[in-house]
Amino acid sequence: MRHGKKINHLGRTAAHRNAMLSNMASSLIISKRVTTTVAKAKALRQFIEPLLTKAKDDTTHSRRTVFATLQNKESLKELYGEIAGRIATRPGGYTRILKLSATRAGDNADMCIIELVDFNETMLEAKNTAEAKSTTTRRSRRRGGKGEATTTNEAGTSAAEVKSDAPATTTQSAPADTATDTLTNGETREEATAE
């Protein structure tokens, strides 16, 4: 039974697992997206999200804490340079896991892409266009809105005013009943209409 065992050991010792996650985190910080298995991506998400939160506070202590975990100066420079500025207003959820339909050829493992949310340009553009579309005004349900032209007659009243004074009555007639043909045994509709 695995009651209360939250960590996925990934079939590795603790030292090997920490080294692997540190290397994957550095690769993710530098290249902004990494293709890996779903299990490793979920473990990497738990590993890197606290580091990204610490990077929002640019102090010597936070830099040393993150460097102790990553052990990579290039990724530390990238993290505190470009990434920290982009994620400054985000309250969490810095990574996104996109599952791929293809599986790994050797062992049929489920593959995915883990990426930093603020660096996927196509999704950011789609979000911005969706926000621009959502700011349009709603159409009202009442009749005769903006499209109705108002013309004034000799008395000085507009046609819209005259129309609003008259009671709104609409009459619709029901469609006329259509004649039905009675079919005898074995007779089709075409034969009945031909007669």
Rounded CA separation 44/112 (Å) = 12
Pair of tokens at residue 21: 């996650």
Residue 109 lies in a domain: yes
Q: Could you read off the pLDDT tens digit of each residue along the chain, which spans 195 residues?
A: 889 998 999 999 999 999 999 999 999 999 999 999 999 999 999 999 999 999 999 999 999 999 999 999 999 999 999 999 999 999 999 999 999 999 999 999 999 999 999 888 888 788 888 888 876 666 667 776 555 555 555 555 555 555 555 556 666 766 666 666 666 777 776 776 676
Residue 164 lies in a domain: no
Rounded CA separation 1/166 (Å) = 79
CATH of residue 76's domain is 3.90.1030.10
Residue 57 lies in a domain: yes
When divided into structural domains, the chain yields a total of 1
Residue 78 lies in a domain: yes
Please report the DSSP string for 35-92 in residue order: EEEHHHHHHHHHHHHHHHHHHTS--HHHHHHHHHHH--HHHHHHIIIIIHHHSTT--S
Residue 30 lies in a domain: yes
Q: Whole-model pTM?
A: 0.65
In terms of residue numbers, what domain contains 52?
A: 14-123
- List, in sequence order, every residue forming a beta bridge with 36; answer none if it has no partner: 112
C-alpha dist (Å) from residue 19 to 6, 52, 85:
19, 18, 27
Residue 187 lies in a domain: no
Residue 64 lies in a domain: yes
Residue 62 lies in a domain: yes
Please answer whether residues 33 and 83 qualify as being in contact, where contact means their C-beta atoms are separated by less than 8 angstroms.
no
